[in-house]
Structure 1
Amino acid sequence: MPFQFSLRSDAVAVSACTFSTLAFYLVSLPLFAATDIEHIEVESKATAARPWSVTATELKNQIAASSDTASLLSRFAGVSVKQAGAVSGLPSIRGLADDRIRIQLDGMDQVAACPNHMNPPLSYLAPAAIGQIQVYAGVSPVSAGGDSIGGTIVAESLPPEFSTQPQLSGAVGAFYRSNNQARGGNLLLSHSSQQHFLQYSGNWSKGNNYHAAADFKTQQASGRPGHLIALDEVGSSGFETQNHQLRLARQQGVDLVELQLGYQQMPYQGFANQRMDLLKNQQHSVNLSWQRDTSFGQLQSRLYREKVEHSMDFGPDRQFWYGSLALMGKACGPVRFHGDPAGTCAAGMPMHSESVNSGVHVSSDIALTEHSLLRLGSDFQQLKLDDYWTASGGAMGPGTFLNINQGERRRIALFAEHEVVIHSDWLLQYGVRYEQVARNASPVRGYSDSSNAMGMQAMQAAQFNLADRKLSDDNLDLTVLSRYQLSPEFELELAAAQKNRSANLYETYVWSGWAMAASMNNLVGDGNGYVGNLTLRPEQARLLALSLNWQSLDHKQQVSVKPYVTQVDDYIDAVAANNSWQAGQFNILRYQNQQAELKGVDLTLQTELAQNQSGRWQLSAIGSYLDARNTVTGDGLYQTQPLHGRLTLSHAIGGWDNSLEWQLSKRKSRLSVIRGEQATAGYGLVALRVSHSWPQLRLDAGVENLLDKLYAQPQGGAYTAQGMTMSLNGIPFGIPMPGMGRSVYAGLNYQF
């Protein structure tokens, strides 16, 4: 019988005065704290939850192999990556992904601002810039959770370092990968003194389309005259990006203040499972933080603002001209609109998104006793979004299509968390978090207000504009975690939670059912078109997780088994938007609340095989099983992993650090029928990695997919990368996204 517990937040009244009072209290505390106090040590936030964690040092042998920061998370059991652009993978934790996961970069809550989610948070942090990544799977503590049901990912840059004497240091690196001729470089320059820290970091990378191990399609046409795409080439998979960050920090006594200025310029990124390509993504961010150690614990605050300008259109592997002349194979001339139907032509389909994401965080860690810690905090986040498509001719004109007009999503949160050592072998953590999520959007219009405009734009816009668009949700999260040391070797952990997520702006306010417009709105890469829903209720998940950990007394062998179950009320899935849904083709779908259940188990194993004159030999393995289904329809949830695992044999001696890896996946047969998901065959991939380190220089080399295996990615979505992608069924249906064939890579990094 499924477990049941629920506490609806609408039974709790939290006034604006309460928010203001707590925020004032938290901000005011440092004004009354002395600067020359004897302070106590406070452990990092959410210590009882013990997230999966990996540092830059541990990732060095993988950084040269990938430009996608999200891909580095696949080393954790229960974490996988949904295919998107080359630097824009979407991490999935135990079957829940994208906005169902809270992702923080250097303390900033970030969200994708694109109808295809081409700019997810981790795309703004290059692998070479990572200091540490932490993953809270499922039951994340309330201090690290909020507006998410799948878990939390916290990615951080290298922390500021201070020195007794002025010191200049840095690093420079480069890499190359053979399959898609990807190349790039990184530069890090730091100056530190006893009180000041100044750092610049920059990363640049570029790559062409990648190739599968063999032919996976039957069509070479790109939709552009004279431009053919090889049958083993994955169209629209090239990329170019650069990220820059300037950091200034000052440490004085018990205070640490840091300012981070970030900038990204991405002129191109192809998306092989979407109908558009990214042709510009420019981000500016300001992130100011302050923390103070006090006699009772630690105070923290953060203020940030992020501005994104994002543009999409058809890249070189897709048809660009549309209209009657283009259909007859004739060249299109000057752009024309509805007044000349005989010669109608549309020059692409320019789409633009502009967003401003602002936030404030204040919190306090208070040591009540030597064995008791209280965390109090408040969060505020506001996203403002405009999504509009300028006229390009033909049916795309004469005006501007307002996909989301002055969209706004505002979160206000309060949390309290208590961590206490009940006994030397027993630790307990529990917490509560209240969030109010408010959404709104202004009236919209299509390309034309004419009743004769294609897709009933005028009528659907009028219906949307008459509807109540001002929405508000009151969400209450609850978590409890208990850890008990059964013996020196065995540890038992039990965690339970209630988590909530409110719909994002695209799930809510995308309004047009016109096939062309709907197909441009797609968050999952399945090739279908999507329409929003103003009546969506928040997803509410009830989670129960168990963890049994064993470690030998000499710490040379470790085993962890983690079963879990998640039940989601009002899970936001998809249903047919009209009565024309058909199997074997792309369709127009609408977001709809349903029910879901996800249950599975994650396994981690590590053992030292030998440590002698030949070096240190270790064997590690991770494996995950997940049964995720929509309990209303009985179908599988879209883009979830089948049974899969990874086995790694590693060897270290002197400066050498080498590994042989075997990645395995079972056939994917539990599918989302409504989305037209395709089955994928099981496969096994072999990777070889070799590296050598000197005091200042590190060289990395390796081969991915060593045996050049042709395989389809279970979470890759539909291949929609070439041809007439503006037409809903103008491209082949039923081609799953192929993985990359054999690729040899090399990288170097020099520190000074």
Structure 2
Amino acid sequence: MLFTAKPCGCGRIRSHYAAFTCLLLATTPYTCLTAAYADTLTPVVSTMTHPVSPAPGQPAPKAETIIVNGIRHSAITSPDTANLLKNSMGYSSYSAGGVSSLPVLNGMADDRVNTLVDGMNIPPACPNHMNPAMSYVDPDSVSEAVAIAGITPVSLGGDSTGGTIQIRRKDPLFAKAGKILVTGHVRADYKSNGAGSGVSGSITAANDTISLRYTGSYAHATNYRAGGGTLVRSTSYLSYNHAVTLGIQKKNHLLAITFGQQDIPYEGFPNQYMDMTNNRSTYVDGKYKGDFNWGTLEVQGYWQRVSHVMNMLGDKGGHSATTGMPMNTDSRTAAYNILATIPLSTSHTLKAGSSFNHNGLNDWWPPLQGSMMMGPNTYKNINNGHRDHLGHFVEWNARWTSRFSTQLGVRNDIIMMNTGQVTPYSWSGMMSAADAAAARNFNAARRGRTDVNFDVTATGKWLITDSLSLEGGYARKTRSPNLYERYAWGRGSMATRMIGWFGDGNGYVGNLNLKPEIANTISATLDWHDPSSQKWNISVQPFYTYTHNYINVIRLSSATASPATLQFVNHNARSYGINASGHLNLWDTNKYGRADLKTNLNWVRGQDLVTHSGLYHQMPVNGSVRLTETYGNWSGRMDLTLVKSKTTVDWLRNEPRTPGYALLGIGSSYRWKMFTIDGSIDNIMDQKYYLPLGGVDTGVYKQTGSFVPLLGFGRSFNLSLTASF
């Protein structure tokens, strides 16, 4: 069943919430309210390895835990899966909607990060990227989240100049021979700021051969308040996720088929002119894994359809599809992945694979009756566009001695893109003259493009001593433009402002002549730790990237205009920085429990070598300090987040400067039998601060005519409860 609700139907929202809660609670005899808070540890990001999923039939992590970069965490209450990777080395995210943050790795954002959800590469189906890959998965259904900054193995795919993020759902569970397994959990949560609430859970019924699992989630919030009580408009959201997984295993073979559906009736975007007024996704994902005498074979095929609608929610001036500016997108993705892992000897392994991803896109804006600007035609933004990605790779892993290993990989990707002819709102009239002329030129041009890309990765790991290791290498990574970077053709002020996923208020124009960007990265990770790796460790990771044909922008409007009209162009660019993390076990005794101190620090700087402007969305120096204490079934934590002022900005985009800030949070949880209760306070001092990567508040711009940075989340009291069975 698919649950829906309308933005203004409070009673309907409550009814769906109650129905969904009853559905989950019916699977367990325990009644519960509210859900869990993150017990985030500082992860260690490897430049050449990534965690391996549990073997078929092996127990998965408990329902209330996940693995983030190889470290077990408590479940996170935020409905935004991108928050699972908070405090990862080199990782940050920038605000969009409540469940749709966009990832940044080492200063490379969004499309430059290859984000895989259960192996699926899901391109955004929106000119504002309101539906990124991680927005399609509920964090409660995640078993493993991995961020690899900079150097990414070629086996994980192409289009990854910034790095790779892997999100894995829980594998099917099976019972022991002759047994029946029924297991699951239910979780609910509440946040005072924005009256955020949610419920999620899963139930599995299985024998030793067949496993059937249902997972579902609901998340809702109203507009949040910043520190000091300022209301931040267009930050409400409502989201539903449902998935059913059938698993079949026999000896050394595992087949898993997942059918899923997501419905987001509405989601506000404070740094965009538009909001999401509906997003419905349906997908089928089939995976096979088999162990043979020669090695392991993994085959995956998936299909997804996304129907996406944008307009303006009430607090932006729109109330229905007959007001504001309706915009529709329909996307279909069909793909396969094949991976063969062949042990050549006890110390050498060869991986070879092939993948294909077809993404078809239609983006059209229906006419607004009675409008002189938006009509009488349908504005065809992307007409039968497609981006087909065919890739092949070979990767060689070798362990030369007990202390030294290497990885060498080569990859070829062919990107084939094209789109049909387009239509402006009107072919005549002064108000449509710029778009009409642009449409004629676009339709007359040759629009088909084929890019042939090559990637190379070479890394090594040296265990210098039992307490010191060095890991690093070189990567050549390539990314071809997305459909909007090449094919967004409009030149009118209103049309261009509808294009852009940067949250900066500017308008964007595509460029048919864009070339793929090629990033050359060198990176190293020095890890110093006690011999047992239990008492303390310090990791330092410097990196440098030179990007040839970096896709940046030039101004088409005057140098002082705000908002500006920008066009995508190729420039050379460089970025460099250093990431660091540390861990110290303060004590570990039966009398006083265990206490740990964890820290991380990230610094990045990027520059366009043609305009000499700073690259957009570069996080200023930031870090965190976390103190945790665990005593029996009780645990407590205290977090301090520190962010320096943002002074290096992209002047081409009129990127705002933001002051530095410090945020303090505390939390505590207690586990009793199958229940876990958690309470926490975020931003205890109710600090008013601006998000360095949040872009500008378009709601304030509409009221005052001035761009100001987006305000961050104010103080919030959180309560959660999880029950497992």
In the alignment, does 2:555 pair up with 1:576?
A: yes
* Number of the residue aligned with 2:577: 600
In the alignment, does 2:225 pair up with 1:211?
A: yes
Contact 1:52 1:135 in 2 (8 A): no
In the alignment, does 2:541 pair up with 1:562?
A: yes
> How far apart are 1:134 and its partner, in Å?
1.2
Contact 1:484 1:492 in 2 (8 A): yes
- 1:583-732 to 2 correspondence within 5 Å? 583=561, 585-612=562-589, 613-721=591-699, 724=702, 732=705
**Structure 1's 171 and 247: CA in aligned 2 closer, same or farther, altered over 3 A?**
same
Residue correspondences, number: 662
* Number of the residue aligned with 1:266: 264
| Counterpart code for 1:188 | S
> How far apart are 1:320 and its partner, in Å?
3.3
> How far apart are 1:731 and its partner, in Å?
5.2
SS of the residue corresponding to residue 470 of structure 2 reads strand
| Counterpart code for 1:748 | L
* CA-to-aligned-CA distance 1:54-111 (integer Å, 9 cap, x gap): 9734679764542211022122121001111010001100000111011111111111
Contact 1:52 1:136 in 2 (8 A): no
* Number of the residue aligned with 1:73: 85
Q: Paired residue for 2:129, among 114, 117, 130?
A: 117
* Number of the residue aligned with 2:483: 505
* Number of the residue aligned with 2:6: none
Percent of aligned positions that are identical: 33
Contact 1:236 1:722 in 2 (8 A): no
* CA-to-aligned-CA distance 1:358-388 (integer Å, 9 cap, x gap): 1011110000001100000001001000000
* Number of the residue aligned with 1:312: 310
Out of 65-74 and 184-193, give the one that drifted further.
Answer: 65-74
Contact 2:599 2:625 in 1 (8 A): yes
Paired with 2:268 and 2:107, the residues of 1 have a C-alpha distance of 25
Contact 2:553 2:569 in 1 (8 A): yes
> How far apart are 1:446 and its partner, in Å?
0.6
Out of 481-490 and 627-636, give the one that drifted further.
Answer: 627-636
* Number of the residue aligned with 1:19: none
Paired with 2:417 and 2:650, the residues of 1 have a C-alpha distance of 29
* Number of the residue aligned with 2:358: 382
* Number of the residue aligned with 1:202: 216
Contact 1:319 1:722 in 2 (8 A): no
| Counterpart code for 1:155 | I
**Structure 1's 58 and 145: CA in aligned 2 closer, same or farther, altered over 3 A?**
closer
* CA-to-aligned-CA distance 1:99-129 (integer Å, 9 cap, x gap): 1011111111111110000000001111211
* Number of the residue aligned with 1:95: 107
Stretches of 4+ aligned residues off by more than 3 angstroms = 51-65
- 1:24-39 to 2 correspondence within 5 Å? none
TM-score norm. by structure 1 comes to 0.86
SS of the residue corresponding to residue 85 of structure 2 reads helix
What RMSD in Å do the two structures reach over aligned CA positions? 1.9
- 1:142-221 to 2 correspondence within 5 Å? 142-164=154-176, 165-214=179-228
SS of the residue corresponding to residue 721 of structure 1 reads helix
Paired with 2:206 and 2:695, the residues of 1 have a C-alpha distance of 47
SS of the residue corresponding to residue 347 of structure 1 reads coil
Contact 1:318 1:723 in 2 (8 A): no
| Counterpart code for 2:550 | Y
> How far apart are 1:424 and its partner, in Å?
1.4
In the alignment, does 2:707 pair up with 1:734?
A: yes
Paired with 2:278 and 2:608, the residues of 1 have a C-alpha distance of 36
| Counterpart code for 2:395 | E
| Counterpart code for 1:84 | A
Paired with 2:207 and 2:46, the residues of 1 have a C-alpha distance of 30
SS of the residue corresponding to residue 174 of structure 1 reads strand
> How far apart are 1:596 and its partner, in Å?
1.3
**Structure 1's 619 and 52: CA in aligned 2 closer, same or farther, altered over 3 A?**
farther
* CA-to-aligned-CA distance 1:704-734 (integer Å, 9 cap, x gap): 111110000111001113674xxxxx75323
* Number of the residue aligned with 1:50: 49
Paired with 1:48 and 1:101, the residues of 2 have a C-alpha distance of 15
Paired with 1:242 and 1:495, the residues of 2 have a C-alpha distance of 42
* Number of the residue aligned with 1:331: none
Q: Paired residue for 1:537, among 492, 496, 515?
A: 515
SS of the residue corresponding to residue 71 of structure 1 reads helix
SS of the residue corresponding to residue 187 of structure 2 reads strand
In the alignment, does 2:482 pair up with 1:484?
A: no
Contact 2:700 2:708 in 1 (8 A): no
Contact 1:451 1:459 in 2 (8 A): no
> How far apart are 1:170 and its partner, in Å?
1.2
Out of 514-523 and 715-724, give the one that drifted further.
Answer: 715-724
Paired with 2:645 and 2:633, the residues of 1 have a C-alpha distance of 39
> How far apart are 1:554 and its partner, in Å?
3.4
Contact 2:599 2:626 in 1 (8 A): yes
Paired with 1:732 and 1:703, the residues of 2 have a C-alpha distance of 35
Paired with 2:565 and 2:74, the residues of 1 have a C-alpha distance of 40
Contact 2:700 2:707 in 1 (8 A): no
* Number of the residue aligned with 1:459: 437
Paired with 1:62 and 1:673, the residues of 2 have a C-alpha distance of 41
Paired with 2:260 and 2:517, the residues of 1 have a C-alpha distance of 33
* Number of the residue aligned with 1:370: 346
Contact 1:149 1:501 in 2 (8 A): yes
* Number of the residue aligned with 1:750: 723
* Number of the residue aligned with 1:29: none
Out of 667-676 and 687-696, give the one that drifted further.
Answer: 687-696
In the alignment, does 2:416 pair up with 1:438?
A: yes
* CA-to-aligned-CA distance 1:567-609 (integer Å, 9 cap, x gap): 111111111124x3425x2111111111111101110100100
Contact 1:455 1:513 in 2 (8 A): no
Contact 1:184 1:206 in 2 (8 A): yes
Return 5+ residue gaps in structure 1 as ranges. Answer: 1-45, 216-231, 323-334, 336-345, 725-729
| Counterpart code for 1:110 | I
Paired with 1:171 and 1:102, the residues of 2 have a C-alpha distance of 31
Return 5+ residue gaps in structure 2 as ranges. Answer: 1-44, 54-60
* CA-to-aligned-CA distance 1:342-364 (integer Å, 9 cap, x gap): xxxx8321000000011011110
Paired with 1:316 and 1:61, the residues of 2 have a C-alpha distance of 38
When Rg is computed on C-alpha atoms for both structures, the one with the higher figure is 1
* Number of the residue aligned with 1:285: 283
> How far apart are 1:640 and its partner, in Å?
1.1
Paired with 1:430 and 1:64, the residues of 2 have a C-alpha distance of 36
Q: Paired residue for 1:241, among 222, 239, 256?
A: 239
Contact 2:109 2:617 in 1 (8 A): no
In the alignment, does 2:394 pair up with 1:416?
A: yes
**Structure 1's 652 and 423: CA in aligned 2 closer, same or farther, altered over 3 A?**
same
Contact 2:85 2:146 in 1 (8 A): no
In the alignment, does 2:446 pair up with 1:468?
A: yes
SS of the residue corresponding to residue 494 of structure 2 reads helix
| Counterpart code for 1:254 | N
Paired with 1:591 and 1:610, the residues of 2 have a C-alpha distance of 54
Contact 1:145 1:151 in 2 (8 A): no
| Counterpart code for 1:49 | M
Paired with 1:52 and 1:270, the residues of 2 have a C-alpha distance of 35
> How far apart are 1:656 and its partner, in Å?
1.1
Paired with 1:503 and 1:751, the residues of 2 have a C-alpha distance of 45
Paired with 2:573 and 2:297, the residues of 1 have a C-alpha distance of 39
**Structure 1's 626 and 177: CA in aligned 2 closer, same or farther, altered over 3 A?**
same
**Structure 1's 48 and 461: CA in aligned 2 closer, same or farther, altered over 3 A?**
closer
